[in-house]
Every structure is written in structure tokens, then in C-alpha cells.
A and B are shown apart, each in its own frame.
Chain A
Amino acid sequence: MNDTELDRLLETWEAPTPRPSLRHGLRARFPRAERLGFVRPLRWALAILVASVALVIGMAQAQSSYSQWDFGDLPVVSLLHRMFENFMEGREARRVEQVVAKIRQSDPKVYVDGQLVAPLEFGPAKSMDVEVPGEGLYSIVLYRFTRVRNAAGRPTGWVEAGRIHDSVIEFQAGGKMVRIECDRPIVGEDRPVFAMRRR
């Protein structure tokens, strides 16, 4: 028997055609979409929420001071913005608390134009006070969202005067440079230092 003859012989064994029950059975066993009916709107709501939060975060990154935004025309976005703002501020407050606690434990030494001066004083609301000879008493804070202007647009007295990096805080107090050196690293990334002259 050659190949062609064998092939012809094999062809005599025909398969039956499937019954309609094959398709019906599959449909009957298909997991119904109804059970997703409740989940689907929730998914959409979640997607909209995520997109809105992403929008707010994107704008936060694009703006140097997101507190100046005006979302009055979009109530939902405005609400999300406020929630996001509160969240970020709360997180920043906790972070500052940790940083100040670290500074407190790191034997900080204060130098004004290279000269060792009176030690740092720790004030309320995580502020720190430095007596700058010839310039007066300066308070400093490390809170990123310190408002330099009030709602009316007037200066609050706080100005971004320097930076904290690694174990060193440096800021400008009038005409003098203040340098606070800690005995261990305090922050992993640079942060702004806001200063205000008290007297």
C-alpha cells in the first residue's frame, strides 16, 4: 500500500459533525456577565477617581506652589485637590517632625560667617531659633509648604533663605551666612529652609 492509498483509506474514517448542544453547552457554562453588573460602574468610578488624582498630582509637579491653584470652576477636582493637599501637608508635617527630632539628637553646632555662636534653640511648631550676632533672632522652619504670602498676597515674614542637605543647614540671615552642622546625616535629599527675623 503506497502513501496515497493509505491516505485514502484513512479518509474513510469520518468524524461526525458536532451537535448544536456543543455550542449551547458552552453558552450555558459561560460565566454570566450579570455578576459583573455591580462591579463595572465601580470600576468606572475608580478609574475616574484615579485619573483625577493623577491630574492633580501632575499639576502639583508642574507648579512650584500648588497652593496657588484655582479650581473654583471644577468642584470635583477642587475637592480632590483639597484632599490631596491635606494629605501632602499631613505627610510633610510628620516628615518635618522626624527631621527636627534628628537634629535635636545630633549635637548641632551653629556658625555665623564661620564663627561658632550660641546653640540652636528649639521652639514651638518644630521651629528652631538662632541668635545671629549683629542681625538679631531668626526662626527657621523646614516645612516645605510654609506660606510666604497670606491669602491677601502680603508677605508673611517667612522667606526661603537656604537649604538643608545631608548633615548641614545653611541659610542667609540678613547679610550673614548661618551654617548649622550636625554630627550625622539628617536628610537624604535637599530641603528648603524658611527663615523669619523675630527681632
Chain B
Amino acid sequence: MAKAPERLIREARRGKEEALLKLFDEHHLPLFRFAWRLTGSIADAEDIVQECFLALLRPDCGFDPARTAVRTYLFGAVRNQWLKRLRRRDQGMALEPVDRRTPEAEAVRGEAAGAVAAAIAELPGTQREVLLLAHYEQLSLAEIAEVTQLEIAAVKSRLQRARATLRESLAAYAPQTERII
């Protein structure tokens, strides 16, 4: 029988590495994707994801299983880590700049993909987060509200605005049929 996340966290805090790895195996993929789409860097995304799992082990970790699912909590942790890095960068501390056109990133993009990445990068902060969580990670509006600490209505409107903006900025990549019509 699968162990509840809170039990795995408790065991991991007691020094059981397997418990943390089990949690990691269950949740790391979407977290990594989210972190990578936010940062544009594999190294940064890996660092953020590792940091989020290690933060669960700390006694001052704010995870409360009665209030939030571990998946939602971890997405929130990724977001917070990313915001922390952005602030550090804004304060001029050493941090590699986010470069969405790194060779590693370009390797996985075609032309359209590059345009999508660039268009999403241009979205205002929370619109981008909401879009990434909704479209790429299939989180519900309620879950996104929890991760971004917004009201559900605000999440919904940001998602609509983000999609409207993308529709305009990516119009050139619309299927040919539509452009003919």
C-alpha cells in the first residue's frame, strides 16, 4: 500500500533517504518541467527542484497535509524558489541570467516552439505562471489559486488574458486554413 506523503516526509526527516526518493519519484517530473519553463535553464530547474524536496525535511517547513496536497505545496515551493532567484538577480547578486536561447534550450525547440517560448516569456509574471500550470501541468483553477496565492476568479481572468495575448502574438503560427478564412 502506498504511504501517505506526510508519512514519507516524517520518515525522510528521520533520515530515511528512500522515503524522500519515493516522494521525489512521484512528483519531480512536473516540478522540473515547471521550473524549467520558468527559468529556461536545466541547471537552475534541477537546483530548484532539489531545493524544494530538501526544504520538506526542515523543521520549519510550512507544509500542512491537512490544508494542502503535497503536489500543490511543491508547485508553490518551486514558484517561491524561482521568485527568490529573481529577487536575488534584481539585487545584483551572482546568478546566471535567464537565457531562453541557450543551446540546450534551442535543441529541444523548433521554430514554432521557440516562438511559443518567447511569447510565454513575454507574458506578465502571474499570467505566465498561471498559463504554465494550467496548460502544461493540468492543475485545476483551485490548485493554481493555492500555488499562486490568488483568488480563483483572478486565476481565471489571468488565464484568459494570457491566452488572448498568446493568440495575438502567435497569430503568425496559426494553421494555414484559418489565415485563408
Give residues in A with beta carbon < 8 Å to B: 1-3, 5-7, 9-10, 12-16, 18-19, 21-23, 25-27, 29-33, 36
Contacts and interface: CB of A to CB of B under 8 A. Distances in A.
Given A1-B170, A31-B57, A15 B32 contact: yes
Given A12-B113, A36-B14, 15 more contacts: A2-B178, A5-B174, A7-B135, A9-B116, A12-B112, A16-B108, A18-B49, A19-B46, A21-B46, A22-B28, A23-B28, A26-B53, A26-B54, A27-B17, A33-B17
Contacts of B108: 14-16
A27 B171 CA distance: 45
B1 to A, nearest CB: 24
Contact of B120 (A13, A14, A30): A13
B117 A13 contact: yes
Contacts of A23: 21, 24, 28
B24 A12 contact: no
A16 B36 contact: yes
27 contacts: A1-B170, A1-B178, A3-B163, A5-B175, A5-B178, A7-B135, A10-B116, A12-B116, A13-B116, A13-B120, A14-B113, A15-B33, A15-B37, A15-B136, A16-B36, A18-B49, A22-B49, A22-B50, A23-B24, A23-B28, A25-B47, A26-B20, A26-B21, A26-B50, A26-B54, A30-B57, A33-B17
B170 A9 contact: yes
| Chain A interface, >50% SS class | helix
Chain B interface, >50% SS class: helix
Nearest to B53: A26
A29 B46 CA distance: 12
B173 A18 contact: no
A26 B174 CA distance: 41
A29 B174 CA distance: 45
B155 to A, nearest CB: 17
Interface in B141-181: 163, 166-167, 170-171, 173-175, 178
A24 to B, nearest CB: 10
Nearest to B164: A6
B125 interface: no
B15 interface: yes
Most chain B CB atoms below 10 A, which of A18, A23, A33: A18
A31 B56 CA distance: 12
Contacts of A16: 36, 42, 104, 108
Interface in B103-117: 104, 108-110, 112-113, 116-117
B7 interface: no
A1 B117 CA distance: 18
Interface in B12-47: 14-17, 20-21, 24, 28-29, 32-33, 36-37, 42, 45-47
